[in-house]
């Protein structure tokens, strides 16, 4: 019936164009409305859910029918068609037993997507009645999402997660499942080019437009942490934590008051709290699964029960497929710029906050965040980095820079650079570090960039390496410093020819500013910092930045908190740059941050496939040879099908890579 209506509406559009006859269009809409009434009458009532939905759909169909009869303008007819499609979809779902929820509609929606689900607009995507599916390797974090649309007021809406188990009795406890709500709030719209399905090709759309837009972004346990006034277009944050009662505005040009934890105490709950959902409104939920490291491969099944007050609205099946292989060591760096937590705000809790931020980055597959502390002054910070599981063999270091050195009475400039570089190297090597990349002058061009030649050579003479952010093109970093710059943090869309230049010198190239953080577009980050870098032969991502809210009016340089929470108080031309929002005891994740993790994980899956190919390329078993050849052919084709130009679906690419790994693995077992 639903497919029939889609075809029917296409015919209506043809009639409208050829005849311009409003009466004919209305007659056709009314005719189909009557067909739906007949269809609905034939649907049997088998469950309590059916007993709720059938009369509701009858009432909805009568309302739609009245709208159809009254429709005269093109806009009214378009709205009537959309309403008929919705009712037809729901009747089909009722007939096949796919609704199953009282007083609400539950849709499975794509987690990493630029298609936004707003609290107050109809949902145009999603699947009714399907189970929530997750596929992951042991140790991996993976996300899934669903949205609830309330048909009547739902007070104290919450969900409960069951344990998951296989038929063989293997289990994943609910403690490895983390449920949050997606919070939509007001942010600056940002530069054009990234909304919906349009990829950002050659620019970094984080500049101000001074236009407020409602965007889903934050992932919260406590939905009431942020209060949004839709009429005034204002955001308010709750001070004092989950039990706090004071709200202050965080969307005013005046900025955010407070410089210390005492002035601005804010944090999220540790687990999901109940929320309220008014009739006609939507609420998106976000599940993160952390598959235990020791999990046995198989299908783990459980459920998500949805309640309003103590009333069970329905149960959503949850299935997790744990894959029979683990990630191979990644062939790519997974980097991110990261400032030390604001000392003025955190005080003696600064190092503890640094530990939590590192743990959060590691949980998002980041292994190569820039180390911003001075290793000579803050060795305890490095211990926190190490304890969190961050890469501590190769360090991208900006806690001290050679360009900061001043000559002394006893030593000339280059001697002093060598002496201090050696001191920092010795401190790192005492911690087990093998390679240290020191940072040059940020984003230098022309003479400023070239003027660092002697200093960089001095660093090399005592065993250090150099990296810095910059630009490709004529008189860019390669032309001026390619011989002595060991790692290039390259701004802009990746270019394969640029990567080949750096690799010809046995140097590395990482990507940033495509875009920088702060754009509410999860799929863009997944695309541009994952397989797109493999296609263009980069060595990984190194985007700017974990969180950055500097330059609030009246704030001194380095004061990044709490103005990071306000997207409208900047005095520069850029939006605030946030993958996460820092709190008094950790961070709040965003959907874009989850997209950046999926980018890193796509590269981990690719590394695993490449490892399988290399290990098995010389196999004499025919089945293995066929599987390896199939994988090589697929990658050869994919290499030339630019994922943004061809608008490839990243979930499908991930599935294809997994299938190729399993093909090789299974071909070995068959023999």
Structure tokens at 477: 């970093």
pLDDT over 50 at 22, yes or no? no
pTM: 0.89
Q: Would you call 410 exposed, middle or buried from its count of C-beta atoms within 10 A (0-12, 13-18, 19+)?
A: exposed
pLDDT at 596 over 80: yes
427/422 Cα distance (integer angstroms): 9
C-alpha closest to that of 488 among 474, 422, 505? 505
End residue of a domain, out of 75, 95, 115: 95
Q: Which of 95, 116, 136 is the last residue of a domain?
A: 95
Alpha carbon distance 98, 92 (integer Å) = 8
Q: What is the mean pLDDT of residues 118-131?
A: 87
User: Does position 21 have pLDDT exceeding 60, yes or no?
Assistant: no
pLDDT at residue 339, rounded to an integer: 93
For the cut 60, the answer to whether the pLDDT of residue 388 exceeds it is yes
b/e 448-472 (16+ beta carbons within 10 angstroms → b): ebeebeebbebbbebebbbbbbbbb
Nearest 10 degrees: Cα torsion 305, 309, 310, 311: -70
List the single range of 74-83, 117-126, 224-233 with lowest mean pLDDT.
74-83
The Cα–Cα gap between 307 and 48 comes to 15
* Residue-averaged pLDDT of the chain: 89
Confidence of residue 560 (pLDDT cuts 50, 70, 90): low
**pLDDT for 387 beyond 90:** yes
Which DSSP letter does residue 404 get?
G
Q: State which residues form the domain around 661.
A: 617-670
Instruction: Classify the C-alpha dihedral 541-542-547-551 as positive or negative.
Output: negative
Nearest to 481 by CA among 489, 424, 395, 396: 489
DSSP-derived 3-state class of residue 571: coil
CATH number where 304 lies: 2.60.40.10
Mean pLDDT of 559-570: 78
Do residues 85 and 121 share a domain? no
Assess whether pLDDT exceeds 50 at residue 483. yes
Shared domain for 174 and 287, answered yes or no, is yes
Better pLDDT: 94 or 654 = 654
- What are the backbone dihedrals phi and psi of residue 364, each rounded to the nearest 5 degrees, phi first? -105, 25
Residue 353 token pair: 């906050």
pLDDT > 90 fraction of the chain, expressed in percent and rounded: 69
- Does 169 lie in the same domain as 49? no
Mean pLDDT of 296-304: 97
Q: Into how many domains does the chain fold?
A: 4
Examine the domain organization and report whether 485 and 400 are in the same domain: yes
Which secondary structure element, helix H or strand E, spans residue 220, and what is its range?
strand 212-220
Q: How far apart are alpha carbons 461 and 456 in whole angstroms?
A: 9
Same domain, 114 and 15: no
Tell me what percent of the residues of the chain surpass a pLDDT of 70. Answer: 92
DSSP 117-183: --TTS-----EESPPEEEEE-TT-EEEEEEEEEESS-EEEEEEEEPPEE-TTS-EE-GGGEEEEEEE
State the pLDDT confidence band at 197, using cuts at 50, 70 and 90: very low
- Let me know whether 501 and 564 are in one domain: yes
What pLDDT is recorded for position 193?
A: 44
Tokens representing 120 are: 């107050």
Q: Final residue of a domain: which of 77, 95, 113?
A: 95
Count the Cβ atoms, other than its own, within 10 Å of residue 532: 22
For residue 196, pLDDT over 70 is answered with no
Q: How far is CA 238 from CA 227, 247, 482, 598, in A?
A: 8, 4, 50, 30
Query: For 315-338, what is each residue's pLDDT tens digit?
Result: 999 999 999 999 999 999 999 999
Task: Choose between 259 and 14: higher pLDDT.
Answer: 259
If asked whether residues 501 and 563 sit together in one domain, one would say yes
């Amino acid at each position: 019936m639903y497919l029939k209506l889609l075809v029917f509406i296409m015919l209506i559009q043809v009639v409208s164009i050829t005849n311009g006859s409003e009466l004919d269009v209305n007659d056709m809409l009314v005719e189909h409305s009557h067909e739906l009434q007949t269809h609905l009458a034939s649907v049997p009532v088998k469950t309590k859910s059916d007993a709720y939905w059938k009369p509701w759909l009858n009432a909805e169909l009568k309302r739609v029918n009245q709208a159809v009869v009254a429709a005269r303008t093109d806009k009214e007819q378009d709205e009537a068609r959309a309403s008929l499609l919705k009712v037809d979809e729901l009747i089909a779902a009722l007939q096949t037993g796919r609704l199953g929820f009282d007083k609400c509609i539950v849709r499975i929606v794509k987690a990493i997507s630029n298609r936004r689900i707003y609290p107050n607009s109809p949902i145009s995507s999603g699947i009714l009645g399907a189970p929530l599916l997750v596929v992951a390797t042991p140790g991996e974090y993976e996300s899934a999402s669903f949205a609830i649309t309330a048909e009547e007021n739902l007070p104290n809406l919450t969900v409960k997660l069951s344990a998951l188990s296989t038929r063989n009795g293997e289990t994943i406890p609910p403690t490895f499942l983390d449920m949050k709500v997606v919070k939509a709030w007001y942010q600056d719209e940002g530069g054009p080019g990234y909304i919906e399905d349009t990829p950002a090709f050659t620019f970094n759309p984080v500049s101000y437009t001074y236009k407020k837009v409602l965007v889903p972004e934050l992932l919260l346990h406590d939905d009431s942490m942020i209060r949004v006034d839709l009429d005034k277009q204002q955001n308010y944050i709750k001070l004092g934590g989950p039990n706090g009662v004071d709200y202050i505005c965080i969307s005013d040009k005046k900025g955010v008051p407070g410089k210390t934890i005492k002035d601005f105490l804010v944090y999220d709950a540790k687990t999901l709290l109940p929320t309220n959902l008014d009739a006609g409104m939507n609420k998106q939920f976000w599940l993160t699964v952390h598959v235990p490291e020791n999990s046995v491969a198989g299908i783990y099944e459980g459920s998500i029960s949805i309640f309003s007050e103590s009333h069970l609205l329905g149960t959503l099946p949850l299935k997790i497929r744990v894959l029979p292989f683990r990630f191979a060591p990644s062939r790519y760096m997974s980097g991110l710029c990261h400032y030390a937590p604001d000392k003025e705000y955190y005080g003696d809790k600064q190092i503890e906050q640094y530990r939590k931020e590192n743990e959060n980055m590691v949980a998002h597959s980041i292994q190569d965040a820039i180390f911003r502390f001075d290793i000579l002054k803050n060795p305890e910070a490095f211990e926190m980095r190490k304890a969190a599981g961050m890469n501590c063999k190769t360090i991208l270091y900006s806690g001290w820079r050679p360009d900061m050195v001043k000559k002394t009475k006893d030593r000339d400039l280059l001697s002093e650079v060598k002496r201090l570089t050696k001191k920092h190297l010795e401190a790192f090597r005492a911690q087990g570090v093998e390679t240290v990349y020191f940072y040059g002058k940020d984003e230098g061009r022309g003479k400023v960039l070239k003027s660092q030649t002697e200093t960089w050579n001095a660093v090399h003479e005592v065993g250090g390496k150099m990296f810095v952010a910059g630009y490709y093109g004529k008189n860019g970093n390669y032309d001026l410093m390619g011989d002595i710059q060991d790692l290039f943090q390259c701004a802009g869309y990746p270019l394969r020819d640029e990567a080949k230049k750096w690799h010809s010198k046995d140097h590395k190239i990482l990507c940033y500013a495509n875009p920088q953080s702060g754009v509410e577009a999860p799929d863009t980050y997944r695309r541009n910092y994952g397989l797109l870098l493999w296609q263009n032969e980069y060595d990984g991502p190194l985007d700017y930045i974990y969180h950055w809210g500097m330059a609030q009016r009246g704030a001194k340089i380095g004061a990044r908190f709490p103005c990071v929470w306000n997207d409208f108080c900047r005095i520069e031309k850029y939006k605030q740059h946030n993958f996460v929002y820092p709190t008094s005891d950790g961070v709040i994740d965003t959907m874009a941050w989850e997209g950046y993790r999926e980018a890193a994980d796509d590269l981990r899956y690719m590394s695993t496939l490449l490892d399988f190919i290399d290990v098995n390329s010389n196999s004499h078993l025919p089945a293995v040879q066929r599987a390896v050849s199939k994988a090589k052919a697929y990658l050869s084709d994919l290499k030339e099908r630019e994922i943004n130009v061809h608008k490839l679906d990243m979930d499908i690419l991930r599935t294809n890579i997994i299938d190729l790994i399993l093909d090789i693995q299974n071909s070995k077992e068959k023999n």
